[in-house]
Amino acid sequence: MNKSPMISITDVTYEYTNVDDTDLIALDHVDLTIKKGEHLVIIGHNGSGKSTLAKQMNALLLPSSGVVKVADMDTRDPALLWSIRQTAGMVFQNPDNQIVATIVEEDVAFGPENLGIEPTEIMNRVTASLERVDMLQYRHKAPHLLSGGQKQRIAIAGVIAMKPDCIIFDEPTAMLDPSGRKEVINAMKLLNREEGITVVHITHFMEEAVGAHRVAVMEDGRLVMVGTPREVFTRVDELKKLGLDVPQMTELASELRKEGIDIPADVLTVEEMVTHLCQLKLMD
Amino acid sequence: MSIKIDGLTHTYNPGSPFETHALKNVTMEIESGEFIGLIGHTGSGKSTLIQHLNGLLKATSGSIWINSVEITKPGVKLKDIRKKVGLVFQYPEYQLFEETIEKDIAFGPTNLGLKEEEVRQRVKEAMEMVKLPYDELKDRSPFDLSGGQRRRVAIAGVLAMQPDILILDEPTASLDPRGRDEILEQIKLLHQQKKMTVILVSHSMEDIGRLVNRIIVMHQGTIAFSGTPREIFSQAEELESIGLGVPQISHLMKAMNRNGCQLPEDVFTVEEAKTIIMDYLRGKHHA
Amino acid sequence: MLKDITIGQHYPTGSVVHRLDPRTKIIGTFVFMAGLFMVKNFEAYFVVVTLLIVTIKASKVPFRYVLKGLKPLMVLIMVTFLINLFMTRGDVFFALGPVTMTWEGLRQGIFMALRLMFLIVGTSMLTLTTSPITLTDGIEQLLNPLKKIHVPAHELAMMMTIALRFIPTLLEETDKIMKAQMARGADFESGNLINRAQSLVPLLVPLFISSFRRADDLAMAMEARCYRGGENRTRMKALQWHRMDVVVLLLVLGYLGIMIWMRVR
């Protein structure tokens, strides 16, 4: 097995010129390594640079300085562009603005068609991909008649039909209602767990980060925290200072600790909280 | 300014294969000065409902009174209704069109036929209400602003019409936590200081829970529940059966009770939960 | 709601006509039109009507549905009829001041109105039985030989597909922006022409901005999915001629033959 990382970002800075001719630094010396099979969540508020970072991961943007490698392929090498984008697929925020075709299955076929794959193989991949996101029964439907969550699942199917090793989700749930959000998150988790696809998930919904392997927090173009969800969310006060939310259970745990209650700081879910509170009760 | 809705029904594309009954015989009353949270998942009829309240949609049957004026009667001047009922749509920043922020916010009041001086005064006040510095920003293009600021310009555009009733359709969609908290805080102040009647459509039970005094839950074109946040959130099973959740804190209380505790279930903020759990744990110490 | 309008009014029934290769149907439609314009007298319309009835029957699209397509163009048909009725010289059978009607005018009016109706019904059979996407594929394939003279066949087809994809989205958006501006007291309905044109600014500016934003997003999404033009691109569903296509093309040629014969006879 190849032990090299899925994506390695080394000392990457990205500058761009704004409409009024001012130079802005969107990424400021960022270092991040994403392992194969990992589920990484990147949080940060709007303008923190998280979307810019995401677009570096499949050569939609190129670093001003530093190196981004996707499966050992340098994103600055134009000859590797298409294999990089095939390896690292991307799902975007607005479900309407990433569907190309007027029929679901035609849209899922769009990526493989671009890769020049044989028609019968495309057909197989389209069927398998739609099945994976549980949208097979909609294959002949027009995308504009689907719900937001369903459209995003079509977009995901379109990416997995290209057989990527990694999928970057750039705020895929920001425009969805709670049930749509759940659909997308479930599809994402399934791909990570069962297909071993590396998932990079950019979001500002903290609840969505709870199940991830690692969480990275961005602020002003820099990575300010990287760690397991437990490690990151226990830093309740710092997160709040950054204007970010903390899962309610973690916040409650933090409040209880301030009152001198002996409860771990890294409680994330309701179940954990119940367990700890019951133990406290038993110990008395 | 009160709202009374009686037997309101709305059918889209009647008689065609696309016929959908978006509202079915909805009856309710909203008192002047109430802060209402309107919840329900996509397609439950909440967007259709709020569009009736300022005459953007015509009722298939039923009637609506805004402060004892029946707006569903033929011949009612829609301009008069829109002056009283301000409606902020989802992603309102996408309706901005003027070169400067001042001009854009002035669009509404100018349409009401107000004098220039009055319009400017209202623009100024509206910008203050959403915490945008008038002198600094009035001549800037709305398109130079950040997403959150643009949204506030759009909200100011409705506030400048000085409505008595303010309806907001998911005003925090796509905003980050900081942008969300800022907007919700401003809405809260409008309700408290300007005594506006506010209807807030939202998917976030946490936000609704900490802001409003009454929740109306819509499901399949009807009103499924109506009550204080406490009353609503204590019905977790019923809410979940129609695909809605309750705040995590309410879940925690339920889960504790399943484990043999006797905690109140109508709790939904971290603050309250802390107090209750502290009491519970201390009570245990003394017992 | 606007999004429920089916664009191109595709009416799927899975009939023989629907399963024909889009190229066959496009060529057939053009030949049908060519034949129609050769018609000089009413007798030849029998051939046209027979062909239309057979096609509609075979397509399993209800007659009522097909005729509904004439409704929005009724004004145009009436105008055509009236212009011919009043403007043709000949035996006057009715006169009121300067207005005269002639027998020749009546004949010509009916003749032209029928031609227009047949034209509409005939071409709508193409869109009723072919989904927009297959239609686009057909056009692309037919234009392919022209690539040699630098006709951007693939690009044209891609543009059509994207336009079709975004029409419902933009209709919905128009509806939304219009309502949002109406909530701010905008009036799109009253006033004179200039006022009305001006009142469109608050609608059109946001619509343009949003279309550009969408275009930007879509371009990014297409690039991320390895889109790089038509080169080396394969298609999931390659178009294939079947025996039925040959039969239909022969029939269509027969029709053209009859029309030519009836004209020169």
Question: Which among A146, A182, A245 is the top mutation candidate for probing chain B, defined by the most B β-carbons within 10 Å of its own β-carbon?
Answer: A245
- Chains within contact range of chain B (3+ C-beta pairs < 8 Å): A, C
Residues of C within 8 A of A147 (CB-CB) are: none
Residues of C within 8 A of A111 (CB-CB) are: 225-226
Tell me the shortest Cα–Cα distance from B280 to chain C, in angstroms: 50
Percent of chain C whose pLDDT exceeds 70: 97
Domain that holds residue C101: 2-130+237-264
Of C133, C223, C234, the CB nearest to A119: C234
Residues of B within 8 A of C209 (CB-CB) are: 94, 97, 143
Q: Quickly list DSSP for chain A.
A: ---S-SEEEEEEEEEEE-TTS-EEEEEEEEEEEE-TT-EEEEE--TTSSHHHHHHHTTTSS--SEEEEEETTEETT-GGGHHHHHHHEEEE-S-GGGG--SSSHHHHHHHHHHHTT--HHHHHHHHHHHHHHTT-GGGTTS-GGGS-HHHHHHHHHHHHHTT--SEEEEESTTTTS-HHHHHHHHHHHHHHHHHS--EEEEEES-GGGGTTSSEEEEEETTEEEEEE-HHHHHT-HHHHHHTT----HHHHHHHHHHHTT----TT--SHHHHHHHHHHHHHH-
Contact A249, A273 (CB under 8 A): yes
Of A82, A98, A118, the CB nearest to C217: A98
Copy the structure tokens of residue A114.
Answer: 């671009």
Phi, psi of A241 (to 5 degrees): -65, -30
Question: Which among A82, A96, A139 is the top mutation candidate for probing chain C, defined by the most C β-carbons within 10 Å of its own β-carbon?
Answer: A96
Of C1, C176, C210, the CB nearest to B12: C1
Q: Widest CA span of chain C, in angstroms?
A: 71
Structural domain spans, chain A = 7-229
The pairing of strands B85-88 and B214-219 is unpaired
Write out the E strands in chain A.
7-17, 23-34, 39-43, 65-70, 73-74, 88-91, 166-170, 198-203, 214-219, 222-227
Q: Inter-chain contact C234–A96, Cβ cutoff 8 Å?
A: no
Chain B residue nearest residue C177, CA to CA: B95
Torsion sign over Cα A153, A156, A161, A166 = negative
Of C218, C224, C233, the CB nearest to A113: C233
Q: What is the pLDDT of residue C9?
A: 67
Tell me the shortest Cα–Cα distance from A59 to chain C, in angstroms: 8
Residues of B within 8 A of C187 (CB-CB) are: 111
Contact C236, A106 (CB under 8 A): yes
Number of Cβ pairs < 8 A linking chain A and chain C: 98
Torsion sign over Cα C1, C3, C7, C11 = negative
Instruction: Please say if the pLDDT value at position C88 is more than 80.
Output: yes
d(CA B99, CA B95) in angstroms, rounded, equals 13
d(CA C110, CA C103) in angstroms, rounded, equals 11
Q: Inter-chain contact A256–B277, Cβ cutoff 8 Å?
A: yes
Confirm whether C117 is domain-assigned. yes
Q: Which of B10, B58, A145, A96 is nearest to C5 (CA)?
A: A145
Q: Is residue C90 less than 8 Å (CB to CB) from chain A?
A: no
* Residue B42 φ/ψ region, left for φ over 0, alpha for ψ in the -120 to 50 degree band, beta for the rest: beta
Of C173, C177, C183, the CB nearest to B82: C183
- Show Cβ contacts of residue C248 under 8 Å, excluding neighbours closer than 6 positions: C20, C24, C28
Q: Inter-chain contact A106–C236, Cβ cutoff 8 Å?
A: yes
Q: Is residue C228 less than 8 Å (CB to CB) from chain A?
A: yes
Contact B200, B187 (CB under 8 A): yes
Q: What is the pLDDT of residue B286?
A: 43
Q: What are the angstrom distances between the C-alpha of B190 and each of A138, A203, B66, B213, C257?
A: 45, 30, 20, 14, 78
Write out the E strands in B245-285.
none
**Along chain B (287 residues), what's the average pLDDT of each consecutive run of 10 residues?**
92 80 95 95 91 93 92 86 93 94 96 94 95 94 90 96 95 90 93 94 89 94 93 87 85 89 86 90 61
Q: Inter-chain contact C221–A122, Cβ cutoff 8 Å?
A: no
CATH number of A7-229: 3.40.50.300
The pairing of strands B20-30 and B35-39 is unpaired
Confirm whether C256 is domain-assigned. yes
Q: Inter-chain contact B89–C179, Cβ cutoff 8 Å?
A: yes
Copy the structure tokens of residue B146.
Answer: 């950040």
- Tally of CB atoms within 10 A around C54: 12
Tell me the shortest Cα–Cα distance from A46 to chain B, in angstroms: 6
Of A111, A117, A144, the CB nearest to C168: A144
Q: Which of residues 243-282 of A touch B (CB under 8 A)?
A: 243-245, 247-249, 251-252, 255-256, 259, 261, 270-271, 273-274, 277-278, 280-281
Confirm whether C141 is domain-assigned. no
Q: Inter-chain contact B247–A248, Cβ cutoff 8 Å?
A: yes
C194 or A234: which carries more pLDDT confidence?
A: A234
Of A114, A119, A122, the CB nearest to C225: A114
Contact C183, B82 (CB under 8 A): yes
d(CA C193, CA C190) in angstroms, rounded, equals 9
Q: What is the pLDDT of residue B243?
A: 80
Can you tell me the ipTM of this complex?
Answer: 0.91
d(CA A202, CA A52) in angstroms, rounded, equals 11
Chain A residue nearest residue B242, CA to CA: A179
Residues of C within 8 A of B83 (CB-CB) are: 185
Q: Is residue C22 less than 8 Å (CB to CB) from chain A?
A: no
Question: Which among B58, B95, B159 is the top mutation candidate for probing chain C, defined by the most C β-carbons within 10 Å of its own β-carbon?
Answer: B95
d(CA A43, CA A173) in angstroms, rounded, equals 13
Q: Which of residues 33-72 of B touch C (CB under 8 A)?
A: 51, 54, 56
Q: What is the Cα C98 distance to its own chain's centre?
A: 38
The pairing of strands A198-203 and A39-43 is parallel
Q: Quickly list DSSP for C53-71.
A: HHHHHHHT--HHHHHHTTG
Q: Inter-chain contact A86–C132, Cβ cutoff 8 Å?
A: no
Q: Which of B228, B227, B234 is nearest to B266 (CA)?
A: B234
d(CA C130, CA C140) in angstroms, rounded, equals 14
Based on the structure, what is the number of domains in chain C? 1
Q: Inter-chain contact C206–B82, Cβ cutoff 8 Å?
A: no
A200 or C230: which carries more pLDDT confidence?
A: A200
Residues of C within 8 A of A116 (CB-CB) are: 232-234
Confirm whether C15 is domain-assigned. yes
Q: Which residue has the tokens 């070169």?
A: B99
Name residue C154's amino acid.
Answer: H
Q: What is the pLDDT of residue A3?
A: 67
Tens digits of pLDDT across chain A (284 residues):
456 899 999 999 999 887 677 788 999 999 999 999 999 999 998 889 999 999 999 999 999 999 999 999 999 999 999 999 999 999 999 999 999 998 899 999 999 999 999 999 999 999 999 999 999 999 988 898 899 999 999 999 999 999 999 999 999 999 998 889 999 999 999 999 999 999 999 998 888 998 899 999 999 999 999 999 999 999 999 999 998 988 889 999 999 999 989 999 989 989 999 999 988 877 76
Residues of C within 8 A of B167 (CB-CB) are: none
- Chains within contact range of chain A (3+ C-beta pairs < 8 Å): B, C
